[in-house]
Structure 1
């Protein structure tokens, strides 16, 4: 098959993702609140079905979805989709869950769109990048975040899970001299870091490909890295890798990731 024009494909993907986000906005606005329980919302399947059909029209290839399963044939291209990363927090009434759409080429992230339709700031937030584009974009505007030169420092922010508000002193100590920000969705944490809002986004729980491929692409576009709990680059080479890419992940400035992964995060679970 001919190589897709990634800049054009990114624009088409953003359009599809923003349309899909209307489903999440409508679900959030229900009088009785979003439907579902635990980490499964009723709207998740509908969003992924919408995305799957339209993304495969844009680029027919392999597909890895959280809700609708996966088809891996060895095709060099693969869409990787999480229709609502941060579902459990979404169902608890927390803003900031996100649609996460990534594209792998020969197991390497080359395109990412992370779209948070319902945010604390009150406006939808779409962060995107594709290989060949000079900078990450945020709501259509280029953002040069220079992650390669950032360090863990005062004035910087570390994006951690929403549960961090339950142990603020410990999270403050683990993230110092930077300040922690508690928020849902590892995809959106990584995206915000790529857009220049933070120096590192992390998850202390196992993540799958659908959680992080889009964010990983954005980090690449911003000069950052995504590593596992050993400090090794996260990969998507096998089925097993896709199911669980890491036990913990750290994404952002290489220097900040190295510093943070060496800290005693096990204390969070004591």
Structure 2
């Protein structure tokens, strides 16, 4: 790992640890308000967003930032962070201990580093993917890889709240719903589940885990006829969703994609 990426990793680790420590004090104790898209936001989200953006400005002054709570437009910067200060705000407000801080770093519009810290369960995932090489994915600094197993009713597949209609037909795995996009997808990366689907994830939900999943050997499938990355200069990503299927390996794409492909056609 070169000096720059060592700096990036240390920065993400120190920043999320600091932010996470304070968020644990607010966990289950704050009131939420509803945004225009129906999702929840708290003062803790806004505080964490501001703290992370200020930390990036101090450490990497030439880098841009996209954030769920602030800037939504990609202006074409060579380096750009995409952050979600609390992924899983509903869980956070209700005292459910699965929520995390997500930070992805883009180079020329495509993620090359992902870092997601889940304070309540002491799990931190990160990965690098640059120079055309997969450079490994890690959980608490230990290497992880997707599962080699075949689907069965003793294996898991994760849905989001907006994709439960897939259960109108028989499904080859047990279903779980975690309520957090990033954890849905890193569960595939770590081998906990064989796949997962999210019908309305935004760019800050997926930038970091896009790297982690693929570096761990998983497959990212867009359910729309468009690539997510690279981001397009001048594009406002505030209202754009990217229906996504993730699976543990290529052989599972034809197993699961026909069951969830229709989610890509939803408005």
TM-score (norm 1): 0.80
Structure 1 gaps of 5+ residues are none
Match of 1:26 in 2: 25
SS in 1 for 2:193: coil
CA-CA distance at 1:264 after TM superposition:
5.6
Q: Deviations over 1:89-124 (max 9, x none)?
A: 332333212111101111211111111212xxxx32
Question: For this pair of structures, how many residues does the alignment match?
Answer: 252
- One of 193, 206, 211 as aligned partner of 2:205: 211
Q: Which runs of 5+ in 2 are unaligned?
A: 35-39
Deviation per residue, 1:25-51 (Å, 9 max, x gap): 11115xxx2222331112001111111
Specify the alignment match of 1:251 in structure 2. Answer: 246
Helix, strand or coil: the match of 2:138?
strand
Q: Distance in 2 between matches of 1:228 and 1:142?
A: 26
**Counterpart for residue 123 of structure 2:** 125
Distance 2:141 2:27 in 1: 24
> What is aligned with 1:42?
43
The within-5 A match list for 1:50-65 is: 50-60=51-61, 61-65=63-67
Residues 235, 245 of structure 1: 8 Å contact kept: no
Q: Distance in 2 between matches of 1:226 and 1:245?
A: 18
2:217 aligned partner: 223
- What SS does the corresponding residue of 1:94 show, helix, strand or coil? coil
Change (3 A) 1:247 1:138: closer
Task: Give the TM-score taking structure 2 as reference length.
Answer: 0.81
- After superposition, the C-alpha distances for 1:150-173 in whole angstroms (9 at most, x for unaligned) are 554454321223678xx6x96495
